[in-house]
Structure 1
Amino acid sequence: MMNRRTTLAAAALALLPSIPIAAAAQTFPDKPITFIVPFAAGSATDQLARALGQGVTQETKQQVVIDNKPGANAFIGAQAAAKAPKDGYSIFITTNTTHAANEHLFRKLPYDPVKDFEPVTLLSKGGQILVVNNNLPVNSVQDLIKLAKSKPGKLSFGSGSSSSRIAGELFKQMTGTYIVNIPYRSNPPAVTDLIGGTIDLMITDMATGLPQVKGGKVKALGVSTTKRIALAPEIPTISEAGVKGYEMTFWFAAYVPAGTPAPVVARLNDILQRANRSKVVQDFYASTGFETLGGSSDDLRKFQAAESQKWGKIINSAGIEKE
């Protein structure tokens, strides 16, 4: 009898640490939340984070602070997010750059995309757009290919994320052209240099590139998706414009530091999925052609593993050597 009582007492004591956590999760959040973004203000990830932040505030009545930490191939933001307090108040709003591509682009990362993070939920996915400087004497993908082949190594493309860089490298590989890559801390400053003529072209996210096309500041030659986008149906896909089979998309997701209590992660999953379906976020997606995603923490974990393999194959086939 005493053994049974002792066992029950031990089991009860073992449950005690989880009781305050579960209780706290019910009232979470009770103070402002920080979204850590590994790209500059104005980037697609930043724009999404700001819209999502408004949705979270509507859901929780708590302020959301956007903390942009761009640079070093998103290493700076990823490191900061991995080392943040494990209380659910620091959320990493990021992309496949940090959690699927970087591990195949660099020999050593200052963070572990699997061990250092707990997945919360997928947010969305989108396509990219091939844009060129207005003064570049090309008006189609075929024009660009001909020009690049006539001047190997003379044209340059900017890239402010792994998605942007790999999109450019894949274009080079599939067209047999040699275009020099110019890396940037994020896509917005690369677009600024594109407009100014410092670089000749880039393949960037719709949220960053399409407004510049609509404003007449750059020329659009194609989109990276398999179908034309409803926002600009006059722009052909890169595939139909002459690079058959070309496709490059990217995705956004939310993570917290590894070790964040499971009840808090579950609560965040619910909050973020609701915010992701809010009008302010849906309006942002409608303006950029992004597709709404979602799912559980485990769904994101499985998705990330599959995407890592996919991006590894793309990077290897493009002949990109690890730095």
Structure 2
Amino acid sequence: MSSEFQPHRRAALRWTAAAAAGVVAPVWAQASDWPSKQAIKLIVPFPAGGPADVMGRLVAQVLGTALKTTVVVENKAGAGGNLGTDQIAKAAPDGYTLGLSAISSLAIAPTLQPKLPYNVERDLLPISLVGVARGALVAHPSAPFTDLKGLIAYAKAHPGKLAYGSSGVGTSNHLQGEYLAMRAGIELLHIPYKGTAPLAQDLLAGAIPMAFESSLVTAGPNVQTGKLKAIAITAHGRAPLLPQVPTLEEQGITPFDMPTWFGLVGPAGLPKAMVTQLEKVLAEGLKTPTMQERFAAIGADTRPGTSAAFARYIREETQRYATIIQQAKVTLD
């Protein structure tokens, strides 16, 4: 375990301790008229069109309906999701700024980027896990391989020349590429994009030969229509949306379980009663057949839960990805 990870792990205990002690924000932040004063801003730290944006807009719909208020989604892309997540962390803890952040900013960045402008445990309050998405390794039809065996053979014959795209430096699909390269003994060239939408555009145009996509938002329909060819699913179990596509584990890379997850967070100091209300709203709103179908359409499952459970999950994932980062020798240099 890296030395950078240890302080975060110790600090993470504050989440549990604060919850147990019933620590709440000042009275001014617990106004009984919340959220009637103004619209709630929901920051999505990725561009429009990707899985974070899709889930963010579904969450906004759930919150707006249940709380009888307007929820405005603001896409604040940049730095693999860290730019928007920093804005969430620095917002007033009054319930009018929330965020739909992701694994990259909450569990990967603390190890990979020790100079983050925010501290996950100190500056953010996990409210609820929202969804977990299976991703896929997909290729342009012109790529000179159709399965993982062919990909590995091509990469070994052309070391450092086979490029793959991701939705940004330090994102889960960036690490998927690095981890596959390590496990398969190959050298790949990473091409980072600012989100899934621009990545998908270049892949469809043939500007890059393949990509690790963090969900099936664009990969699913494009594989189904023959515009892309699927090489593998990057998590445990085949995706119901693409049942014919084998996992990386089925093709010999074991273990390989790297789904992308997203959760609702707010700035530290949100009143406990407000957090409890948001937990309940998400638990009820995301379990409806309509919402489950909407999530399934992008290869994702709804996973609402409690604030304490989400905080624990973030800690576990931070530790897991710290190990992966060390094993794969991933750096931002």
TM-score in same-fold range (> 0.5): yes
TM-score normalised according to structure 2 size: 0.86
How much does 1:275 deviate?
2.4
Asked if residue 208 in structure 1 is aligned to residue 218 in structure 2, the reply is yes
| Counterpart residue number, 2:150 | 143
Matches of 1:289 and 1:159 in 2, distance apart? 17
The secondary structure found in structure 2 opposite 1:91 is strand
How much does 1:62 deviate?
1.4
1:106-147 C-alpha deviation (Å, 9 max, x unpaired): 231111111111111111212110101111121111111111
Matches of 2:108 and 2:49 in 1, distance apart? 22
How much does 1:60 deviate?
2.0
**Aligned counterpart in structure 2 of residue 66 of structure 1, from 73, 82, 102:** 73
- Contact 2:141/2:228 (8 A) holds in 1: yes
- Where in structure 2 are the equivalents of 1:104-115 lying within 5 Å? 104-115=111-122
| Counterpart residue number, 2:311 | 301
How much does 1:88 deviate?
0.7
**Aligned counterpart in structure 1 of residue 256 of structure 2, from 239, 243, 246:** 246
Matches of 1:235 and 1:259 in 2, distance apart? 44
| Counterpart residue number, 2:161 | 154
Asked if residue 269 in structure 1 is aligned to residue 267 in structure 2, the reply is no
Matches of 1:102 and 1:177 in 2, distance apart? 25
- Where in structure 2 are the equivalents of 1:1-323 lying within 5 Å? 24-25=31-32, 27-30=33-36, 31-161=38-168, 162-204=171-213, 205-321=215-331, 323=333
- Contact 1:36/1:77 (8 A) holds in 2: yes
Matches of 1:285 and 1:155 in 2, distance apart? 32
Matches of 2:259 and 2:124 in 1, distance apart? 23
- Contact 2:127/2:279 (8 A) holds in 1: yes
Higher alpha-carbon Rg: 1
How much does 1:156 deviate?
0.6
2:144 partner amino acid: P
Number of aligned residue pairs: give it.
305
How much does 1:39 deviate?
0.6
| Counterpart residue number, 1:11 | none
| Counterpart residue number, 1:10 | none
- Contact 2:81/2:101 (8 A) holds in 1: no
How much does 1:105 deviate?
1.4
The secondary structure found in structure 1 opposite 2:122 is coil
- Contact 1:94/1:253 (8 A) holds in 2: yes
- Contact 1:46/1:68 (8 A) holds in 2: yes
Matches of 1:259 and 1:226 in 2, distance apart? 36
1:122 partner amino acid: L
How much does 1:279 deviate?
4.1
1:257-304 C-alpha deviation (Å, 9 max, x unpaired): 112222222222222222222444212222123222122211111111
How much does 1:322 deviate?
5.0
- Contact 1:40/1:68 (8 A) holds in 2: yes
- Contact 2:29/2:94 (8 A) holds in 1: no
How much does 1:97 deviate?
0.6
Matches of 2:282 and 2:196 in 1, distance apart? 25
- Contact 2:292/2:301 (8 A) holds in 1: no
1:225-271 C-alpha deviation (Å, 9 max, x unpaired): 22112221111111112323322112111111112222222222222
Structure 1 residue ranges without an equivalent (≥5): 1-16
Matches of 2:185 and 2:143 in 1, distance apart? 20
The secondary structure found in structure 2 opposite 1:28 is coil
The secondary structure found in structure 1 opposite 2:137 is strand
1:153 partner amino acid: G
| Cα distance change, pair 263–244 in 1 and its aligned pair in 2 (3 A) | closer
1:158-201 C-alpha deviation (Å, 9 max, x unpaired): 11141110011111111111110011111221111111122111
TM-score normalised according to structure 1 size: 0.89
Matches of 1:208 and 1:111 in 2, distance apart? 31
- Contact 1:123/1:294 (8 A) holds in 2: yes
